[in-house]
Amino acid sequence: MLEARNMGTTKPFSRFTGILMGVEGSGKSRLAVTARKPVLVLDWDMRAEALAGLKDVYALTFTDKPWPAQPTACGEGLDILAKLEASRDISTWGIFDVPAGTTIRTIVDDSITVHAKRIMASGLYGSPGIRREINFGSGKGATQVQVPKSFDGWGAEMSAVEEYVLRLLAIKDLDVILTMHESAEEAPDSTQEQPKFTGKVCPFPVRHGRLMKYFNEVWRLKRESGPEPSIQFQPNYQFTSKSGLILDGIKVKPDIEYLINESAKKTNTTK
């Protein structure tokens, strides 16, 4: 699909695409739903209760039954993607009891880290040739984990994740936000027995860093003191954040819609 646009007449921040990265509990989910409403949260981390009571925020939680049941969450996520591609009006989906015309403005994938695990589980279940099976316990309490036995498993997962993200980004007039977990970057000579770190942080898993090139905003969140997280908008030694927001003279606070609106005003006055 080819789309031609005159960017000189396009309003600043008519589209917002962002990645919010941080450790567990840093405030990624709560910040994400301060985006433009209505917001639909695809809850892969099974933590939607943290958003209880927030107006114009809707959530779908995805889970898989344990082995030996076939994983279904990945397929259900693709079904929701197809619904979004057909219509952002969730009153037509037959899932939510909402007023007619409730049209989603922002989609939040929370988190792409766990979503990718569901994608991997589905791929390994359906492709015995690229997996190894490890059994734990016996009898009714027995369980099994399936792991890739070659690079094909990891490569297939990442290709599926990228394709999913690109399909989301192709949906017109939809803001897209991913939340992503982080970890300390290990030094080249780090070992399991003697771990060494560079002082930098990176996405977890590291391969998910490939997704950052598709997003205009990449922010890192930290919980330092108080109830609100601090947000790193610009790159430093620790992490390569990026942002197109004009923050000079703006009281920065953890509210995405506020930051978009204030930055748009600054852009209009500087033309």
Residue 198, in any domain of the structure: yes
149 residue type, one letter: K
What is the separation of C-alpha 73 from the centre of its chain, rounded to a whole number of angstroms? 16
pLDDT at 271: 46
Cα gap 256→261, rounded to integer Å:
9
Q: Which residues contact 166 (CB under 8 A, 6 or more apart)?
A: 214
49 residue type, one letter: E
pLDDT at 185: 83
pTM assigned to the model: 0.91
Total domain count for the chain?
Answer: 1
Which residues of the chain fall short of a pLDDT of 70?
1, 226, 268-271
pLDDT at 68: 83
pLDDT at 83: 96
Residue 3, in any domain of the structure: no
Residue 1, in any domain of the structure: no
- Picking from 73, 107, 251, the residue whose alpha carbon sits closest to that of residue 177 is 107
Residue 87, in any domain of the structure: yes
Residue 69, in any domain of the structure: yes
State pLDDT tens for residues 180-231. 999 888 888 877 788 888 888 989 988 999 999 999 999 999 887 767 788 8
pLDDT at 155: 86
pLDDT at 268: 65
pLDDT at 270: 47
pLDDT at 135: 86
Residue 169, in any domain of the structure: yes
Cβ proximity of 48 and 40 under 8 Å: no
Range of the domain at 110: 11-270
pLDDT at 246: 86
Residue 5, in any domain of the structure: no
pLDDT at 18: 96
Query: Domain containing 27 — which CATH number?
Result: 3.40.50
Residue 6, in any domain of the structure: no
Q: Which residues contact 82 (CB under 8 A, 6 or more apart)?
A: none
Cβ proximity of 90 and 141 under 8 Å: no
State pLDDT tens for residues 47-58. 999 898 999 999
Burial of residue 168 (CB within 10 Å: 0-12, 13-18, 19+) is buried
